[in-house]
Amino acid sequence: MSAGRDARPLVVAAAQMGPIALSETRAQCVARLLEMLREAAAAGCRLVVFPELCLTTFFPRWWIEDEAELDAFFETEMPGKETRVLFEEAARLGVGFYLGYAELAVEDGEKRRYNTSILVDPTGRIVGRYRKVHLPGHADHRPARAFQHLEKKYFRPGNLGFPVWRSMDANLGMCICNDRRWPETYRVMALRSVEMVLLGYNTPNDHTGHAEIDDLSNFHNQLAMQAGAYQNATWVVGTAKCGTEEGSHLIGQSMIVAPSGEVAAMATTLEDEVVRARCDLDLARIYRETYFNFAAHREPGQYGPITAQKGAVGPTGQG
């Protein structure tokens, strides 16, 4: 059904980062990103996916009351002074990229914080912006925890939906970290014909307070992305920031997943590492035209509660 091997290739890289220390500067982080960008370009990649919040350490692990201290983790412009070189080098190399960062925006005259990613095309132009919809964690201070997970305090839920952009001759979508566990994330993009979902993550495996969950962190990471790819006939590129960062351990296993659900490539370290795959975007067609022909097989009339409800209600069946 596909027009032969490699009918519509997009060569892509997941550019995984090892830990970022609190003391590391933006310039130091960008230098690490630049090195991986060049490695990916040399390996023929046209698109590089960097992690979530990849310009600083993962600060939601700390309770921060001082606003200036918090602001220091956020970007007020993109590209900014320290990140501009990344845009310039990518344009010079003809490589597009996904970059995750903490965004400080002013909307309706109000300071607002988002966990954001951008899609930059190979000319260095920002073609898409996404703000994380599914914020995990909590908003209150929980001193009993070794590490906080304060995304619900520091960020607002994304207000840009799950758009899909046409760029690099592909339909590209974005999401961030916890979004990848939610089937709705992929489905909304698939309903907009996404062909490749780009995502970065910071996933600690030492802080839920449940060893049963923590021990399965790598398995759940893989399961969620493989299912998202298969059930939506899309490539998924997931990139970690990983390793032991300020005492907290983050999982690795950055991966590129095919529309079959198969893992095409996976990182094997917990350090800066470029994983590359040649992705045939047409590989999805055999799934879209059979099992996952949405127009033929979906039954949205039966899906009402998915959009009508937020939380769960009790059983509704009649005996």
Single out the catalytic residue among 89, 103, 132, 175.
132
Whether residue 242 lies in the annotated active site: no
Shortest reach from residue 43's CB to its own copies, in Å: 26
**Are 98 and 84 within 8 A, CB to CB?**
no
Site map for its own copies, 116-135, x if CB under 8 A? ---------x-xx----xxx
Cis bond upstream, residue 79 (ω within 30): yes
What gap in Å lies between CA 36 and CA 90, rounded to an integer? 11
Residues 181-210 that bind its own copies (CB under 8 A): 181-184, 187-188, 190-194, 208, 210
**Are 30 and 55 within 8 A, CB to CB?**
yes
Residue number with CB closer to its own copies (192 or 278): 192
Single out the catalytic residue among 29, 177, 242, 279.
177
Tokens 């908003």 belong to 139
Closest by Cα among 59, 91, 83, 81 to 72: 59
Shortest reach from residue 221's CB to its own copies, in Å: 11
**Are 159 and 108 within 8 A, CB to CB?**
no
Shortest reach from residue 273's CB to its own copies, in Å: 25
Rule CB under 8 A: choose which of 18, 158, 200, 252 binds its own copies: 158
Site map for its own copies, 223-262, x if CB under 8 A? xx-xx--xx----------------------------xxx
Closest by Cα among 268, 196, 275, 201 to 228: 196
Whether residue 111 lies in the annotated active site: no
DSSP 10: E
Residues 22-51 that bind its own copies (CB under 8 A): none
Q: Which helix (H) or strand (E) holds 155?
A: none
Radius of gyration (C-alpha) of the chain in whole angstroms = 19
Shortest reach from residue 309's CB to its own copies, in Å: 5
Residue 111, phi then psi, degrees to nearest 5:
-75, 125
Should residue 83 be labelled a site residue for its own copies when binding is judged by CB under 8 A?
no
Residues 161-180 that bind its own copies (CB under 8 A): 161-167, 171, 178
Whether residue 110 lies in the annotated active site: no
Should residue 61 be labelled a site residue for its own copies when binding is judged by CB under 8 A?
no
User: Hey, what are 272's tokens?
Assistant: 């800066």
Shortest reach from residue 8's CB to its own copies, in Å: 15
Should residue 7 be labelled a site residue for its own copies when binding is judged by CB under 8 A?
no
**Are 118 and 98 within 8 A, CB to CB?**
yes
Contacts with its own copies by CB under 8 A: the residue count is 76
Catalytic site positions? 52, 132, 177
